[in-house]
Amino acid sequence: EYTSHSDVRGRIIHKILDEEIEKAKLSERVSLLLEQDLFNSRITKKAFELLMNSILSNLRQYYHSQTHTELSKFDKYKNEHEIYLKLEDFYLYGIIDKLIFDDRKIFIVDYKTDNIKEEEISSRGELYLSQLKFYSVLVNEIYDPSEIELRIVFTKFPDVIFSKKITDEEVIEFRDYICLLYTSDAADDLL
């Protein structure tokens, strides 16, 4: 695919999913966002169209998926939810793609626009798991849910879900890990 524009692709797909653009208005909105994003770049008309078609194809695939249908059924949710937390002497911050509230259960949904093969979903999902565990610490401290489910949705294969229910023990363990990182000398080496 267009690796030089993968960041543009990701930003636009995330923006469209955040705005919940109707299917009928996808082309118009993607075109406008692409024009704004690539305003100062020297991209040919053909490359622009190829990138736009790639983004639209990916979005349409997601919009027609069972996953989209399922996630759209929830009434209580926040898209691109910014979340802050003071933990001991430091602050944590994250932006969660979609945070769904289902009674006391919370789903943390992260969209990934990686250009991967279907058989790579599990291994790639494992790579992103720490990011979602980080979010689970913030969500657990702020909302005190009875259960947290982490979901990674690869927009290229939206119905092949990478999902994990995270236990209270795992959240506490990851919270302790974060505290250790930020309060030890190791943090200076890692940050």
Q: How confident is the model at residue 142 (pLDDT cuts 50, 70, 90)?
A: very high
**86, 179 in Cβ contact below 8 A?**
no
Q: Can you read off the two tokens belonging to residue 108?
A: 């943390």
pLDDT bin (cut points 50, 70, 90) of residue 130 is: very high
pLDDT score of 182:
83
Beta pairing, strands 77-87 & 162-166? unpaired
Q: What pLDDT score was predicted for residue 189?
A: 54
Question: Which pairs count as long-range contacts for 29-33, CB under 8 Å and 24+ apart, including other chains?
Answer: 30/55, 30/56, 30/59
Separation between Cα atoms, residue 111 and residue 160, nearest integer Å: 12
- Encode pLDDT of 172-190 as tens digits: 999 999 999 888 655 455 5
User: Model's pTM, two decimal places?
Assistant: 0.90
Nearest Cα residue to 55 out of 90, 89, 5: 5
Residue 13 in contact with residue 63, Cβ under 8 Å?
A: no
Residue 60 has pLDDT above 70, yes or no: yes
Sheet strand arrangement including 105-112: 77-87, 90-102, 105-112, 147-154, 162-166
